[in-house]
């Protein structure tokens, strides 16, 4: 008999279901099916929050942010909030450029969520090259301004 790690099995099943539901939610569906899908995704989210060993596919989730419906984007942001802190510091730093690119065409609330994740990963960053630092700032004018205002706000928050 083959022994299967329960967390790995749960991870595989959860993301198969999640991928199917997220794909299905891209299309129009009835209210009853949508509420059923939302209930199932909420249940999966609760299970993922309690199992800290389960690694989420962060790159896939970030790539799905573009072109998704607002409901799907909000669930993806919830999963990113769960998954990014579980990554190693090196992997968190690797996600920074992807997070910056994913901020385009999002609501202010979604951008704030992305920047909060981004700021949490900045703790692990050590930069000796100024050119490398420029790659971590959004190139767009309005997005760059919003990013810099957000970072300035974080600097002005008093520490206790």
Please give the DSSP secondary-structure letter assigned to residue 86: G
Whether residue 112 is predicted with pLDDT greater than 80 in this model: the reply is yes
| Helix, coil or strand: residue 69 | coil
15 CB neighbour count, 10 Å cutoff: 19
Radius of gyration of the chain (CA): 18
Q: What is the pLDDT of residue 25?
A: 57
Whether residue 145 is predicted with pLDDT greater than 80 in this model: the reply is yes
Please give the DSSP secondary-structure letter assigned to residue 104: T
Torsion over CA of 103, 106, 108 and 110, rounded to 10 degrees? -80
Whether residue 120 is predicted with pLDDT greater than 70 in this model: the reply is yes
100 vs 32 pLDDT, higher one: 100
Cβ-based burial of 55 (10 A; exposed 0-12, middle 13-18, buried ≥19):
middle
Whether residue 5 is predicted with pLDDT greater than 70 in this model: the reply is no
What pTM, to 2 d.p., does this model score? 0.74
Q: What share of the chain is helix, strand, coil (3-state, %, to 5)?
A: 70, 0, 30
State the alpha helices, DSSP H only, in 51-138: 58-65, 70-83, 89-101, 108-122, 130-134
Sole residue written with tokens 């000796």: 128
**pLDDT tens string 41-50:** 888 888 888 8
**pLDDT tens string 37-82:** 778 888 888 888 888 888 888 888 888 888 777 878 888 898 899 9
Sole residue written with tokens 């790995």: 8
Contact at 8 Å (CB) between 106 and 114?
A: yes
Distance CA 132, CA 144 (A): 16
């Amino acid at each position: 008999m083959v022994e299967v790690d329960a967390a790995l099995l749960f991870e595989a099943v959860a993301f198969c279901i999640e991928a199917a539901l997220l794909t299905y939610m891209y299309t129009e569906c009835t209210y009853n099916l949508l509420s059923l899908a939302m209930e199932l995704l909420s249940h999966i989210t609760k299970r993922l929050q309690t199992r800290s060993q389960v690694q989420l596919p962060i790159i896939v989730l970030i790539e799905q942010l573009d072109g998704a419906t607002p409901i799907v984007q909000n669930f993806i942001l919830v999963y990113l909030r769960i998954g990014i802190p579980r990554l190693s510091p090196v992997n968190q730093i690797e996600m920074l450029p992807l997070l910056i690119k994913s901020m385009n065409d999002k609501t202010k609330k979604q951008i704030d969520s992305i920047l909060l994740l981004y700021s949490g990963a900045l703790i692990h960053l050590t930069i000796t090259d100024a050119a490398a630092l420029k790659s971590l700032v959004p190139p767009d004018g309005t997005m760059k301004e919003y990013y810099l205002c957000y970072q300035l706000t974080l600097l002005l928050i008093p520490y206790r």
